[in-house]
Amino acid sequence: MMYHNVALARQPIVDSKLSTFGYELLYRRDIQSAGADVYDQVGATAHVITTSLLDLGLHNIVGTGKAFVNFPRAYLINPSGVPLPKEHTVIEVLENSGFDAILLAALRRWRNAGFKLALDDFVFEPKLTPFVEVADYVKLDIKDLGKEAFHQQVELLKPYNVKIIAEKVETWEEYHFAKLLEVDFFQGYFFEKPESISKKSSRANQLTLLQLMAGLMKADEMTIPELESIVSQDIGLVHKLLKYLNSPLMGLVASVDSLRLAIMLIGLEQLKSITNLLLMSEMTADREVLQAQVLLRAKHAELFAKARQYANEDRYFLAGMLSLIDVCVGVNLDDILAELPLPLEFTNAIIERTGRVGYTLDLIEAYEKNRPIKSEEDAALLAQTYTEAIAWVESFRSSF
């Protein structure tokens, strides 16, 4: 099967009136995991970002609030960035990030790019002043520090323009103590334990991702149609990119009815970031038979439309691919398509088989299932394009 369950946890960060200001997003290997169980910080962060952005939908997790995401040092100093919406993201700098000149320069880049920064599990000392000056939030662990050191840290940070978040607040007494010190925000089991969120998600094929990454590395030489031909090989990746585009955070006004337009709207840099993240979170599965079936239907629809000289033949490839996405993801077709930024008539063509696209899909499916086809001309053309589609799928798959 081409789907798996993805999971992450979120823990609210509240203000002094106990209204939720944002959520820290936490890695979970699966829905049963009570704790983070992180063996690879880079992979865990990639998982949190791809799951929240491409699977669950960041707007579904944080609403209009902020998403606090832990970034290991490797991420912080990587200049290629990540495809997270700046106005909704706070990057958490972990206490083991190595507070040196390289990190400081990197944090200034993130800040200049419009991201907010939080110093996590922080303990202030004068030599760390430049880091406090570049931060928007400082998280102080009340459990770890104890009341006296916590109070001291709050006083030391008062002169700086940072909001203080008391974390690991587990009792009413700790909350009351932090509130008396006029701390800005609070996080901990006293308010809510991390809540796990999970859903079925399509998976992107690692080979396609590697191929796409290779293409993006030489983006100067790659054309949009060439990138499209790589992306279109994998329905899981197509699904994720369309969902990403349809997120309210993207503010997309137009609907998308071709992969080419989707790639152009996402842009090469964002596409590179997404591909990188998907690769790092190792979203792979053994599903070659299903992949061949999806590719065959998509290519068959495209070749048939081309032979009939229908306009917008790239629409037919996407329609063929999406007509099987419910089998891949294990979720109702109407529900999946409702999550994607598709024009209504295109969705109707796939579900209700209306218009020229719907008619083509009906013919393709009838041919696949050996059902009678009324027109002899259609039957002959379907046979010819089916043979060409098989040859295309075989050549694509042997190119790996």
The pairing of beta strand 116-119 with beta strand 137-141: parallel
CA dihedral sign, ordered 271, 272, 277, 279: positive
**Cα–Cα distance for residue pair 113/79, rounded to 1 Å:** 11
Cβ–Cβ < 8 Å for 41, 58: no
Q: Using one digit for the tens of pLDDT, what is the confidence trace for 223-254?
A: 778 788 778 777 777 887 887 777 666 666 66
Instruction: Cite the beta strand spans of 94-237 per DSSP E.
Output: 116-119, 137-141, 163-167, 185-186, 195-202
The pTM (predicted TM-score) of the whole model is 0.58
CATH superfamily of this structure's domain 203-398: Hypothetical protein af1432 (1.10.3210.10)
360: three-class secondary structure by DSSP:
helix
Output the CA angle 273-29-143, nearest 5 degrees.
100
The C-alpha atoms of residue 46 and residue 282 are separated, in whole angstroms, by 9
Parts of the chain belonging to CATH 1.10.3210.10: 203-398
> CATH 3.20.20.450: which residues of the chain?
3-199
Measured between alpha carbons, how far is 147 from 170 in angstroms, rounded to an integer?
13
pLDDT tens, position by position, 298-355:
889 999 999 999 987 768 887 888 888 776 666 678 887 777 767 888 889 999 999 9
Q: Give the architecture-level CATH label for domain 3-199.
A: Alpha-Beta Barrel (3.20)
Nearest Cα neighbor of 298 from 320, 327, 272, 268 is: 320
Mean pLDDT value of segment 115-141: 94
